Chain A
Amino acid sequence: MNNSTEKSAVKQGIFGGRDFTKTMDIIRRLALLLVLFALMIFFSTQNENFLTLRNAMTVLRSVSITGVIALGMTLVIIAGEIDLSVGSMVALSGVLTAWLVRHFMQAIGMGDAISVILAITITLGVGILVGLFTATLRNYLRIPSFITTLGLLTALSGVAYLISGGFPIITFPSWYRYIGAGWLFEGERGATFPGIPFQVIILFVVFILLFILLHYTRIGRSIYAVGANEESARLSGVSVKLVRCVAFGITGFLAALSGIMVSSQIMTGAPAVGAGGEMNAISAVIIGGASLSGGVGKITGTLIGILFLGVLGNGMTMMGMDTHWQAVIRGALVIAAVLFNMLIQKRS
């Protein structure tokens, strides 16, 4: 067979030489970025302090806690599922860590470092277990994850109150603050480069790891396949059950991590934090272009979605906008983003 004709047959194809899906995909991803830039330019004209490195770090810091959850949520949503329990998991995780630290230090008399490390490990483990619980009910009893996690949303919050007795637990050693509020390469007060907040580093490490997982591993590809067409995936030898366990397990883990970050920021285990966190996370994922019906979504999209919400919130606050108006605008934006994605997809 002739080699050159083969190549041209592959290249020419049915659309006569233009690659629509790919071009449209790039446009769509860039479009969101462009809107983000436009927003930043607008805010910088409103307030000269907006476009500074210090403010950039403030924005990143403000989104990192929701961001860590949203990145995990991306996996669950691409797999065609949903996790409403993450907000309550944040509360539970903070309270649990605080309670464990107090227990280890006061009741058992362990050192503060080992207590914190042990407490964090156990809490992250609980996060994974909660995720696996949802996945198991979905896998073996076919209970929709919406239902299970709706139940967990209430139940986990209840557990958090039970453990804490309704009051914040204040036990952390002072250095614990570093996780949620520490800075790396911290500059002088008023310097142009303020350093990098530690939680922003956590956000980007999670982002990179999930990016690799989703686009460069078998399980990542399987998450897409299961979300798009469970039956095809199963018949192709993909373990659907494993995929769900991984997606929910990681999301539970990240929600717990996010809760630890919050508890470090406020130096307490408080049962009231994190409420509504699931909705912010889902918003970021949706703005990032994922589809609630599964199979579609990008981890980079979610990151942009997170930044988008962060920049918007920060800018509106700097403009002195009423917080209730901010909520209205944020809500409208989610709807607009979905509409926007649909319009662009329709054209392609």
Chain B
Amino acid sequence: MSEIVVSMKGMEKSFSSNKVLFGVDLTLHKASIHALLGENGAGKSTLMNILGGVLPSDAGQIEIDGKPTEISDTFAAKAQGIGFIHQELTLVNDLSIFENLFIGVEEKRGPFLDKKSMYEKSKEILDRMGIDLDPMTMVGDLNTSYKQVVEIARTLMHNAKIIIMDEPTASLTEVEIENVFKIMRSLRDQGVSLVFISHKLNEVMEICDRYTVLRNGHMVASGEVDESVSVNVLSTHMVGREISYDGLYHKREVGEVILEGKQLEREKEYRGASFHVKKGEIVGFTGLLGDGRSELFESVVGVNYPYQGEVFVRGKAVKMSSRSKAQNMGISYVPRNRKENGIVKDLSISNNMSLSVINTLCKWGILRKEKETAYTDKYIRELKMRVHNVRNLITSLSGGNQQKAVLAKALGSNPDIVVMDNPTQGVDVGAKLEIYNLVMQLASTGVSVVVLSSEAPEILMLCDRVYVMFEGGIRAELERSELSEQKIMFLATGGTQEQLNKT
């Protein structure tokens, strides 16, 4: 067994009366990638914030290289060789890579910046990581995975031997994730210890050597990632009960065609897209990032206008020129990227939930608060949301509950068609299952659901029929009986249905 770099023992932390860590232990080994797992609110971030010097602990001991250590602030953490990469990237887009790497630690010659030296040192680090990037490149021109890589490089600048990464892959595509993983592996081989926080258990299985699972502030499992460990084992630890998606899908009667797109086209986004959705049907649209499915359905719900081609609702052609027009046709929309598009962070939970349906809560143009309360209470119950007080800010909720609030907003208008773009993004395993159940339940009451997702398991689990998209065009249409992850992958990467039929 390799030597131990960090050992945290009996860590405790409370926020006023709310205890979030109950004597948690964590051991990090040299040259390993350690997965830190748990549902939202399990205490992962708090634990890492303590290690990173962002928060003080109430009790517990931290040893680094066997020596008891006080980490009083982020500078002390840096001095101990701990690098922290937060979920939200902290780079300045309008500066170049090397300028970003040296923010706060600029090198000077006399009163002026020593750009040459900084440039060369940056180049050195990027070379060490095996990345072919010019340090002069503006960060704004990089794609997200390279930005992530620059963040990693920044921690290496401070000679970090422990790097904490909080959900680094959350907003990356498959290819980009591979990039980041490559770097992570090469760092491990150079002796760096990495902490990897992620909700994507497949990734954990792929890249991590060890794991620790937290649940409600307690450490519930820890060990090596070996043959005995599987995605199922990990998710059971995380949730505390076995999560089973068996029996989720059931066959339903589907009705007439209710929504139809004919030769829809918008420059550089999607083209020649024809599809139909029947009453009570769950239809999936999948593909890789940039396949145009989001833009296509933004047009269908009225927020991406003008477009060519025609959208038919119940057989009638409708120009979807505004969101409210589509709403009046009974089309609801759950946008992707909850933080940017779904929630309004300065508004309360109830104000967020009622935002789309406020018209129906008014009498003579004046908002009736009792109607609003009844409305929010109803959806909090139906969606099993964990809410303390609906007047609190929406940001006081966990990711899963925020997403449910966004769903409530979409369901409140009693829609006939719901378009959900990436409905389980950043949602933990338990809430995910609840959202899937909700989709099924909606469909069995005759609501048509369009699910846009690049997660193949999600599509396989839910959908009656699937359209696979590639570079703005619909590649294929698959019935549930012909669905498989391999087929979807083959079509989504540019394969054709004819090729598929041949093999």
Of the candidates A12, A216, A217, A237, which one forms a contact with B324 in the assembled complex, judged by CB atoms under 8 Å apart? A237
Q: Which of A13-21, A46-54, A118-126, A300-308 contacts B (4 or more CB under 8 A)?
A: A13-21
Q: A235 with B41: in contact, given A9-B386, A19-B388, A218-B359 (CB under 8 Å)? A: no
Contact A234 B323 (CB under 8 A): yes
Of the candidates B335, B342, B347, B367, which one forms a contact with A217 in the assembled complex, judged by CB atoms under 8 Å apart? B367
Q: Does B202 contact A (CB under 8 A)?
A: no
Q: Does B320 contact A (CB under 8 A)?
A: no
Of the candidates B322, B333, B387, B409, which one forms a contact with A239 in the assembled complex, judged by CB atoms under 8 Å apart? B322
Q: Does A186 contact B (CB under 8 A)?
A: no
Q: A15 with B18: in contact, given A21-B391, A221-B358, A233-B344 (CB under 8 Å)? A: yes
B133-149 interface code vs A (CB 8 A; 1 in, 0 out) = 00000000000000000
Contact A13 B346 (CB under 8 A): no
Of the candidates B324, B346, B377, B388, which one forms a contact with A224 in the assembled complex, judged by CB atoms under 8 Å apart? B346
Contact B377 A10 (CB under 8 A): yes
How near does chain B come to A181, taking the closest CB pair, in angstroms?
A: 34
B389 — which chain A residues lie within 8 A by C-beta? 13, 19, 21-22
What are 13 A-B interface contacts by the 8 Å CB criterion? A9-B384, A10-B381, A12-B388, A217-B362, A217-B367, A218-B359, A218-B362, A221-B358, A224-B344, A225-B344, A227-B346, A231-B341, A295-B346
Binding site for B on A (CB under 8 A): 1, 6, 9-22, 212, 215-218, 220-222, 224-225, 227-229, 231-239, 294-296
Considering only CB atoms, which chain B residue lies closest to A19 in the complex? B389
How far, in angstroms, from A192 to B322 measured CA to CA in the complex? 59
How far, in angstroms, from A17 to B18 measured CA to CA in the complex? 10
How far, in angstroms, from A147 to B230 measured CA to CA in the complex? 58
Considering only CB atoms, which chain A residue lies closest to B389 in the complex? A19
How far, in angstroms, from A222 to B409 measured CA to CA in the complex? 14
Of the candidates A18, A19, A232, A239, which one forms a contact with B391 in the assembled complex, judged by CB atoms under 8 Å apart? A19
Contact A221 B351 (CB under 8 A): yes
B342 — which chain A residues lie within 8 A by C-beta? 232, 235
B284-310 interface code vs A (CB 8 A; 1 in, 0 out) = 000000000000000000010000000
Q: Does B71 contact A (CB under 8 A)?
A: no
Q: Does B204 contact A (CB under 8 A)?
A: no
B18 — which chain A residues lie within 8 A by C-beta? 14-16
Q: A296 with B346: in contact, given A13-B386, A22-B389, A234-B303 (CB under 8 Å)? A: yes
Contact A225 B392 (CB under 8 A): no
Contact B396 A237 (CB under 8 A): no
Considering only CB atoms, which chain A residue lies closest to B301 in the complex? A235
B356 — which chain A residues lie within 8 A by C-beta? 236-237
Of the candidates B343, B367, B380, which one forms a contact with A229 in the assembled complex, judged by CB atoms under 8 Å apart? B343
B386 — which chain A residues lie within 8 A by C-beta? 9, 13-14
B347 — which chain A residues lie within 8 A by C-beta? 224-225, 228, 295
Q: Does B24 contact A (CB under 8 A)?
A: no
How near does chain B come to A214, taking the closest CB pair, in angstroms?
A: 10
A236 — which chain B residues lie within 8 A by C-beta? 323, 355-356, 409
How near does chain A come to B173, taking the closest CB pair, in angstroms?
A: 22
Q: A21 with B355: in contact, given A13-B386, A217-B365, A228-B345 (CB under 8 Å)? A: no
Considering only CB atoms, which chain A residue lies closest to B367 in the complex? A216
How far, in angstroms, from A221 to B17 measured CA to CA in the complex? 33
Q: A21 with B362: in contact, given A12-B388, A221-B355 (CB under 8 Å)? A: no
How far, in angstroms, from A18 to B365 measured CA to CA in the complex? 34
Classify chain B's interface size.
Answer: 35 or more
Q: Does B482 contact A (CB under 8 A)?
A: no
Contact A15 B365 (CB under 8 A): no
Q: Does B398 contact A (CB under 8 A)?
A: yes
How near does chain A come to B241, taking the closest CB pair, in angstroms?
A: 17
Q: A229 with B345: in contact, given A14-B398, A217-B365, A217-B366 (CB under 8 Å)? A: yes
Q: Does B393 contact A (CB under 8 A)?
A: yes
A215 — which chain B residues lie within 8 A by C-beta? 367
Of the candidates A12, A22, A234, which one forms a contact with B392 in the assembled complex, judged by CB atoms under 8 Å apart? A22
Q: Does B340 contact A (CB under 8 A)?
A: yes
Contact B355 A233 (CB under 8 A): yes
Contact A218 B377 (CB under 8 A): no
B340 — which chain A residues lie within 8 A by C-beta? 229, 231-232
Q: Does B327 contact A (CB under 8 A)?
A: yes
Contact A18 B335 (CB under 8 A): no
How near does chain B come to A196, taking the closest CB pair, in angstroms?
A: 27
Q: A237 with B327: in contact, given A19-B392, A218-B358, A229-B343 (CB under 8 Å)? A: yes
Apart from A229-B346, A237-B324, what are 9 other A-B pairs with CB-CB below 8 Å? A9-B386, A14-B398, A19-B391, A22-B391, A217-B365, A222-B358, A228-B346, A232-B341, A232-B344
Contact B388 A225 (CB under 8 A): no
A16 — which chain B residues lie within 8 A by C-beta? 17-18
Considering only CB atoms, which chain A residue lies closest to B361 in the complex? A218
The 8 lowest CB-CB distance pairs between A and B, nearest first, are: A13-B388, A295-B346, A228-B346, A237-B323, A229-B344, A216-B367, A228-B344, A218-B358
Which B residues, 46 to 94, have Cβ-Cβ distances below 8 Å to chain A? Answer: none
How far, in angstroms, from A217 to B354 measured CA to CA in the complex? 12
How near does chain A come to B341, taking the closest CB pair, in angstroms?
A: 5
A22 — which chain B residues lie within 8 A by C-beta? 389, 391-392
Of the candidates B345, B354, B380, B396, which one forms a contact with A10 in the assembled complex, judged by CB atoms under 8 Å apart? B380
Considering only CB atoms, which chain B residue lies closest to A212 in the complex? B366
How far, in angstroms, from A216 to B409 measured CA to CA in the complex? 19
How far, in angstroms, from A90 to B392 measured CA to CA in the complex? 39
Q: A14 with B396: in contact, given A228-B344, A234-B303 (CB under 8 Å)? A: yes
Which B residues, 384 to 428, have Cβ-Cβ distances below 8 Å to chain A? Answer: 384, 386-389, 391-393, 396-398, 409
How far, in angstroms, from A96 to B365 measured CA to CA in the complex? 34
Contact B396 A21 (CB under 8 A): yes
How far, in angstroms, from A12 to B385 measured CA to CA in the complex? 12
B381 — which chain A residues lie within 8 A by C-beta? 1, 6, 10
How far, in angstroms, from A296 to B348 measured CA to CA in the complex? 11
B41 — which chain A residues lie within 8 A by C-beta? 14
Of the candidates A218, A231, A239, A294, which one forms a contact with B367 in the assembled complex, judged by CB atoms under 8 Å apart? A218
How far, in angstroms, from A21 to B349 measured CA to CA in the complex? 12
Considering only CB atoms, which chain B residue lies closest to A220 in the complex? B367
A216 — which chain B residues lie within 8 A by C-beta? 366-367, 369
Of the candidates A6, A21, A229, A294, which one forms a contact with B393 in the assembled complex, judged by CB atoms under 8 Å apart? A21
How near does chain B come to A131, taking the closest CB pair, in angstroms?
A: 21
Considering only CB atoms, which chain A residue lies closest to B18 in the complex? A16
Contact A15 B388 (CB under 8 A): yes
How far, in angstroms, from A23 to B324 measured CA to CA in the complex? 36
Considering only CB atoms, which chain B residue lies closest to A294 in the complex? B346
A294 — which chain B residues lie within 8 A by C-beta? 346
A239 — which chain B residues lie within 8 A by C-beta? 322, 324
How near does chain B come to A346, taking the closest CB pair, in angstroms?
A: 14
A6 — which chain B residues lie within 8 A by C-beta? 381
B348 — which chain A residues lie within 8 A by C-beta? 21
How far, in angstroms, from A10 to B387 measured CA to CA in the complex? 5
A12 — which chain B residues lie within 8 A by C-beta? 388
How far, in angstroms, from A295 to B346 measured CA to CA in the complex? 6
Q: Which of A17, A228, A232 has the most CB of B within 10 A?
A: A232
How near does chain B come to A15, taking the closest CB pair, in angstroms?
A: 5
B303 — which chain A residues lie within 8 A by C-beta? 234-235
How far, in angstroms, from A215 to B380 measured CA to CA in the complex? 22
